[in-house]
Structure formats: structure tokens, C-alpha cells
């Protein structure tokens, strides 16, 4: 049984099961995309005063909602694919982890300008559009554009989403944790 399946089988209460031995994480080489890399990201989110909520009751209010970051509330929500709104944490899917990375990028964007958690977001990458084109391809960028424009998104919101979708797709939670430490740590 893989480490992640073992972790998933322990009920993952509030991502606590991803919180295995911090000391062992610090002393080993961490492979990007691994459970350990995601644990680093979870630890960094929490160390910056943001609560991670899994299967928040709000998850059932909008069809297709996978998660959100609410800076003013200091809350990052993941709506699990197989979870029930307001229900327990279930086994994590690749999409659930993708959502964690996506929303974590919005948290980093929130730290870039203003004060931390004031929900004033700004892209981290110099050219989020070019980055998204490189990672997601033109079709991926077009899908994001169409979906968000349909819901009235501004140009800034599109840039923020391009970046968040692309960073999540790259599956680099360890790098995100380091970025969060740098960007959120300097803007307390």
C-alpha cells in the first residue's frame, strides 16, 4: 500500500493525516507532488494563520464548486470530489490536491499586495497569461477565459485564475510553500 493510500485510509481529519512527522519531512528529500510536499504546503498555510476546511457546508451551495480561498476570513476550503458538504473528510483524489494547490496560490496572491489576508490579490508571475499558455496550452486558457467571462470576471480575475490553474497543474506544492513563506512572511 502506498504512503498516500495509507494516509487516505486514516480518515484524513482536517488534513491532519497529511501531517505526519514534521521532523521527518524536514530531514528527507521531498519529491514534488508527493504527500510530503503537500504536507509542507499545508503546514505553511496554517503557519500563516489560515484555517483549512475540508467539505465546508458551503460546498453544496454552488454546483461544481471545488474550493475557495476567503482571505478576510482566513479560510481555505477544499470541497472533496467524493465528500459531502458538512461531512467528514474522505480519501483524497488528485483533483482534491489540485484544488488545494490552486487555492493556496490565491493565498500567495493575497499576500503580494496590501496586507496579508485583506483579499487584495495580485499575480505573482510577471506574465500569468504566458505562463498559463505554456502550462495549460491555448485550449486550457480558452476554457478558463470562457468560464470566468461567462460569470462576469474582470481582466485581473482572469490573470489570477490563469496563474492559479497553471501553478496547480504544475504540481509543485513544495515550491508553493517556499513562495508562501517568502511572500506572506515579508508582508505581515
Could you tell me the residue ranges of all domains in the chain? 3-185
Cβ atoms 107, 76 nearer than 8 A = yes
| Whole-number pLDDT of residue 136 | 98
Span 73-107, pLDDT tens digits = 999 999 999 999 999 999 999 999 999 999 999 99
The pLDDT-based confidence of 114 (bands split at 50, 70, 90) is confident
Mean pLDDT of the chain: 85
- C-alpha span between 97 and 158 (Å, rounded): 22
Mean pLDDT, range 12-32, rounded to an integer? 45
Residue 138 pLDDT > 90: yes
Amino acid at each position: 500500500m502506498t504512503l498516500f493510500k495509507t494516509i487516505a485510509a486514516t480518515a484524513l481529519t482536517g488534513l491532519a493525516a497529511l501531517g505526519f512527522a514534521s521532523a521527518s519531512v524536514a530531514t528527507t528529500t521531498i519529491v514534488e507532488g508527493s504527500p510530503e510536499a503537500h504536507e509542507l504546503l499545508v503546514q505553511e498555510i496554517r503557519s500563516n494563520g489560515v484555517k483549512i476546511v475540508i467539505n465546508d457546508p458551503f460546498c453544496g451551495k454552488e454546483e461544481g464548486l471545488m474550493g475557495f480561498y476567503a482571505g478576510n476570513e482566513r479560510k481555505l476550503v477544499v470541497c472533496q470530489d467524493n465528500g459531502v458538504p458538512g461531512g467528514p473528510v474522505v480519501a483524497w483524489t488528485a483533483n482534491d490536491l489540485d484544488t488545494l494547490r490552486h487555492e493556496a496560490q490565491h493565498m500567495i496572491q493575497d499576500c503580494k499586495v496590501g496586507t496579508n489576508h485583506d483579499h487584495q490579490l495580485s499575480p505573482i508571475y510577471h506574465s500569468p497569461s504566458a505562463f498559463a499558455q505554456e502550462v495549460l496550452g491555448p485550449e486550457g486558457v480558452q476554457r478558463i477565459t470562457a468560464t470566468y467571462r461567462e460569470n462576469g470576471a474582470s481582466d485581473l480575475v482572469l490573470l489570477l485564475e490563469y496563474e492559479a490553474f497553471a501553478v496547480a497543474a504544475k504540481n509543485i506544492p513544495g515550491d508553493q510553500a517556499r513562495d508562501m513563506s517568502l511572500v506572506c512572511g515579508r508582508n505581515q
